[in-house]
Chain A
Amino acid sequence: MSKHQLDYLDELEAEAIYILREVAGQFEKPALLFSGGKDSITLVRLAEKAFRPGKFPFPLVHIDTGHNFIETIEYRDKMINRIGEKLIIGHVQDSIDEGKVVEQKGKNASRNALQTVTLLDTIAKHGFDACIGGARRDEEKARAKERIFSVRDEFGQWDPKRQRPELWNIFNGKIHKGENVRVFPISNWTELDVWNYIRREKIELPSIYFAHEREVITRNGQLMAASPFLNMDAEDIIEKRNVRFRTVGDMTCTAAVESYAYRIDDIIDEISESKISERGARMDDKVSEAAMEDRKKGGYF
């Protein structure tokens, strides 16, 4: 008898596809939360594997702060054009205009925290009962215990005490009206798994993930891309540095790291060979905060 043991990437992929199909089968109005980052880009590839040649049984939803990297928006629009799926954009600017949130002031102002309100409004407006996100359990301790199907109450809150046991491969998606479920198909992937998968599948990424020369300023010990969205003053010195971004979100909260990783192989080497280079950035708590916050505010949490 032949021995059929799936390679780890195949197994993770098959599990994620299985989860996506459970979402399609169990929910009336699901959505895929798309931030333009590598994790949600991976989700799009997995959705293609799960549903092609049919259409996705859900739209993509992007919560746009209005302060995005232009490369991300270009990537998003090009991708939507390629896959021919529906994109719903929730604008933080609309939430500001409607008076639902108030723009932060001062030097470190960011729209990052405002996103959650726009996200919840978008969910309510379209009546989404399941939101697929790219969060992973290896990200932090609290996430390590989150279920793959994670029930949110009508306020969008996660209550660890209300978590449902998840047995075998059986996912219980039953909810009451007004509740919704966050679904995390790549829960069991690590950061390195995502990169290895992107390499294997030859998935295109926004260019800012790769090393490039960019005008930055140093603020609170981190490198921020110089942009009109950043409140700058005379103290801020713009300099050119060779950088790349490890996570992609709002320009006001996503810090760059110095890097010469021009190709995906370089990035994987950077992550897998040297713990210091990959985690070193995380050790800098400023960058770490931004990186984690970025993921959470991407609508995953």
Chain B
Amino acid sequence: MDILKFITAGSVDDGKSTLIGRLLYDSDSILADQLEALHTSNRKNDDGSIDLAILTDGLKAEREQGITIDVAYKYFQTDKRKFIIADTPGHIQYTRNMVTGASNANLAIILVDARKGVIEQTIRHSYLVSLLGIQQVVVCINKMDMVDYSEAIYETIVNDYKALAYKVGLKNVKYIPVSALKGDNIVHPSINMKWYDGISLLPFLESVELTVDDSTAHARFPVQWVVRPQTEELHDYRGYAGRVSSGSFKVNDKVTVLPSGFHSTIEKIEVLDAEPVEAFAGMSVTIHLKDEIDISRGDVLVNTGYLPEVSQLIEADLCWMDTRALDPSLTYFIQHNSKVTRCKIREILYKVNINTLEKEFNEDFKLNDIGRIIIKTAEPLAFDLYQNNKANGGAIIIDSRTNVTVGALMLRAVAED
């Protein structure tokens, strides 16, 4: 059994809470105490049925009180798969939270209200999903019950969305007409939409193939910690501990250490009491090399035949996440994998109006702004282009005064000086 991490994009009005509630309810994932609370609740739909939005309501109440505006995580599982939902608020002021949730998701559900069709908000959500490089997208055309389960309306919206998907660069898009309120095509096929012969949402989520960066060519291993017991019997023991971020490493593979550029060969791979011959993406292991090289935290082992970019001048997409605007005169920290160094924003190339996708050329970069910049780092970063390798193409910016994470970076290219 594996894990699928997904986000839901859509405002409260689109039925996001109801959709999540319906998924949990119809898949029998609601705990007995919650179920009891649902049945005894005074809140009912107009037709007397249970208001499933209650399941996420406690969180909303907290938000309204201003306790938090953050991503909430929910867990459920079926016989086929485990699911982690990053429940991200849909409003524009929460763009940074959607970016946060999307950065770790394999899949995004985008909700479209069948009565409204593709609107400005849909553009924003789709753009963010594309920007963050989420591989799989499911567009749920919701509230089909309120448009008489009309196939024509569904088809119109699908066609409109296809144009949008092309514009923002989304490739794997699945369309499902649903009513979260009535339960049509969420877990069970709808009897109200006989014209739809496709899969329902949950069976789709259970069966959709997850993409893993399996190519050994992209082998990347950021070193987190050097294991050196320094005991008498393990005097010369020196293992490099970390997590394979993409691709895979085998014993006897030739590797290069970056940024130093030294070469060596993998002698041994260790996981506590075991010695696997191969470590692939996602695995936390300890690697031993045949040669004695100076390697420390922040360095990265890579496949010698397929090197990443190494540069101090990088073009990147930036999502600004702090209430204090970006200040190009300041020095910030940048954290890329386990490496932290100082950086400055050399140039703001443009900002993107994420409602219209138009480029803007004003200088200020405020909370929730997204755009393209050139960044100068104090030490070189060994990175891949985000569009080729998410795991080695993302970075964060930290304000050195407050220590807060203020920006998300998707590294796009080596910049010319």
Residues of B within 8 A of A162 (CB): 404
| Residues A144 and B59 in contact in the complex (CB < 8 Å), given A11-B282, A53-B234 | yes
The segment from A168-176, A219-227, A231-239 that touches chain B is A168-176
Interchain CB contact under 8 A, A6 and B282: yes
A154 CB–B CB distance under 8 Å? no
Q: Top 8 A-B pairs ranked by shortest CB distance?
A: A160-B68, A17-B284, A174-B403, A21-B224, A4-B280, A14-B284, A167-B103, A165-B100
> What is the minimal beta-carbon distance from B309 to any residue of chain A, in angstroms?
18
Choose among A3, A12, A52, A168 the residue that contacts B394 (Cβ–Cβ < 8 A). Answer: A168
B241 CB–A CB distance under 8 Å? yes
Residues of A within 8 A of B219 (CB): none
Chain B residue at minimum C-beta to C-beta distance from A201: B272
Interchain CB contact under 8 A, A144 and B284: no
Interchain CB contact under 8 A, B284 and A13: yes
| Residues A176 and B403 in contact in the complex (CB < 8 Å), given A7-B2, A168-B103 | yes
Q: Would you list 26 pairs from A and B whose C-beta atoms are within 8 A, ordered by A residue?
A: A1-B215, A4-B280, A5-B2, A6-B2, A6-B283, A8-B1, A8-B2, A13-B284, A21-B242, A22-B338, A49-B271, A49-B284, A51-B227, A52-B272, A53-B229, A138-B75, A144-B72, A144-B73, A162-B404, A164-B405, A165-B97, A169-B243, A169-B391, A170-B394, A170-B395, A279-B32
Residues of B within 8 A of A51 (CB): 225, 227, 241
Residues of A within 8 A of B99 (CB): 165, 167
Interchain CB contact under 8 A, B33 and A166: no
Interchain CB contact under 8 A, B282 and A14: yes
Residues of B within 8 A of A165 (CB): 96-97, 99-100, 321, 396, 405, 408
Choose among B62, B100, B215 the residue that contacts A166 (Cβ–Cβ < 8 A). Answer: B100
| Residues A168 and B104 in contact in the complex (CB < 8 Å), given A11-B282, A13-B284, A25-B338 | yes
Size class of the A contact interface (CB-based, 8 Å)? 35 or more
A4-B248, A17-B243, A188-B75 given; name 15 further pairs at CB < 8 Å.
Answer: A4-B281, A5-B212, A8-B2, A10-B282, A17-B284, A21-B225, A25-B338, A53-B227, A57-B225, A144-B74, A145-B68, A163-B68, A165-B321, A167-B408, A172-B405
Interchain CB contact under 8 A, A283 and B394: no
A40 to B208, CA, bound (A): 35
Q: Which of B1-22 contact A (CB under 8 A)?
A: 1-3
Interchain CB contact under 8 A, B75 and A275: no
Interchain CB contact under 8 A, A8 and B58: no
Chain B residue at minimum C-beta to C-beta distance from A160: B68
Q: Which of A266-300 contact B (CB under 8 A)?
A: 275-276, 279-280, 282-283, 288
Residues of A within 8 A of B290 (CB): none
Chain A residue at minimum C-beta to C-beta distance from B338: A25
Q: Which of B334-353 contact A (CB under 8 A)?
A: 335-338
A190 to B83, CA, bound (A): 11
B43 CB–A CB distance under 8 Å? no
> What is the minimal beta-carbon distance from A20 to any residue of chain B, in angstroms?
9
Q: Which of A19-53 contact B (CB under 8 A)?
A: 21-22, 24-25, 48-53
Q: What 1/0 mask marks residues of chain A from 135 to 150 whose CB sits below 8 Å from any chain B CB?
A: 0011001101100000
Residues of A within 8 A of B282 (CB): 4, 6, 10-11, 14
| Residues A283 and B97 in contact in the complex (CB < 8 Å), given A5-B2, A141-B72, A188-B84 | no
Residue among B36, B72, B281, B405 with max Cβ neighbours from chain A (10 Å): B405
A100 CB–B CB distance under 8 Å? no
Residues of A within 8 A of B32 (CB): 275-276, 279-280, 283
Interchain CB contact under 8 A, A174 and B242: no
Q: What 1/0 mask marks residues of chain A from 215 to 257 whose CB sits below 8 Å from any chain B CB?
A: 0000000000000000000000000000000000000000000
Interchain CB contact under 8 A, A18 and B68: no
Residues of B within 8 A of A283 (CB): 32-33, 36
A149 to B184, CA, bound (A): 39
A143 to B396, CA, bound (A): 24
> What is the minimal beta-carbon distance from B311 to any residue of chain A, in angstroms?
19
> What is the minimal beta-carbon distance from B386 to any residue of chain A, in angstroms?
10
A24 to B75, CA, bound (A): 28
Interchain CB contact under 8 A, B396 and A170: yes
Residues of B within 8 A of A15 (CB): 284
A126 CB–B CB distance under 8 Å? no
Residues of B within 8 A of A166 (CB): 100, 405
B237 CB–A CB distance under 8 Å? yes
Interchain CB contact under 8 A, A167 and B100: yes
